[in-house]
Amino acid sequence: MAILPIRVYPDPALKEKTHAVDSIDDELRKLIKNMIDTMYAAPGVGLAANQIGVLKRVVVVDVDEDLMVLINPEITWYSEEQEENEEGCLSVYPDKISVNVSRSLRIIVKAVNEHGEDVEFEAEGLLARALQHELDHINGMVILDRTSSEERQNALRGLTKQMGMG
């Protein structure tokens, strides 16, 4: 369908909490298709609707060639066991800026799929990390909000240089 421009930090849409989806209609199906095309073209493993400027609670994730479309997703359980790992983001100058982010190793997610069916599942490893990352987006957070203040400052200095402002 269409590959849409991805909003880049500090775009205000990335700091907005998104709104719940009330119904699955042709407009939403078109949005989902465009999000999938945009994610694959980037290339990335996940994309939230507000990353393309649409303030709806919709995310797409593809880890290990297992495409998931989640509408109104929420994490209902986080494991206490966490892991810190380097994360990049399509909205935070991909391939240029990455920071260490601590995430739960396992989570339980509840959502509606693109067919309007309720889904609930446990995710672990990279899928759990990707889902936490994308759900942060629809809650108005980016990886820079999840890292230490020192790493955040280093990333912002690097970002300033990338933008030719430093």
Task: Please check whether residue 132 is in contact with residue 121, taking contact to mean a CB–CB distance below 8 angstroms.
Answer: no
Distance CA 134, CA 138 (A): 7
Strands (E), the chain: 46-48, 58-62, 67-78, 82-88, 98-104, 106-112, 118-124
Catalytic residue among 65, 87, 117, 134: 134
Is 122 a catalytic site residue?
no
Centroid of chain to Cα 122: 18
Residues with catalytic annotation?
134
